[in-house]
Amino acid sequence: MLNYLTTTMKKPKVNIDNEKLQLSSEILRAIAHPLRLQILEFIDQNKKINVNKIYNTLKLEQSITSQHLRILRDTEILETKRTGKYIFYSLNYARIENTVKSVNNFLERTKKNKTVTSE
């Protein structure tokens, strides 16, 4: 009986842009750390800031700060600009916005599919 049900029941079609969702999940993993969230918030408040100001103001070790900045840079939610010997960090708002849109689109599609299958 169970085999019959599983083969005859229609499974909902979920059209997921796996590439966008995968990228979004990597970005969410990168920011899902309290210290990285603190760093992002600090950069957002200052618009453009160098690593020295980040670790001195937040009272972090330079090496720890650099490791977290690398993780955030790898996901391209941080932009960098070198001025002399300093690298200045700013947020890539377009990247963050695209991530939020991708996650919201996925949640909306999932919600709609749940509604259709439960009716």
User: Domains plus CATH for the chain?
Assistant: 26-105 (1.10.10.10)
Distance CA 40, CA 49 (A): 11
Average pLDDT over residues 10-25: 63
Among residues 12, 18, 10, the alpha carbon closest in space to that of 106 is found at 18
Cβ neighbours of residue 46 closer than 8 Å, sequence gap 6 or more: 53
Res 16: pLDDT: 54
Pick 65 or 107 by higher pLDDT: 65
With a cut of 80, say whether residue 40 has pLDDT above it: yes
Residues in the chain: 119
Distance CA 70, CA 112 (A): 37
Cβ neighbours of residue 87 closer than 8 Å, sequence gap 6 or more: 50, 51, 80, 81
Q: What is the pLDDT of residues 85-108, one digit of tens each?
A: 999 999 999 998 888 888 888 788
Its pTM surpasses 0.85: no
> pLDDT-based confidence at 17, cuts 50/70/90?
low
> pLDDT-based confidence at 31, cuts 50/70/90?
confident
CB atoms within 10 A of CB 18: 7
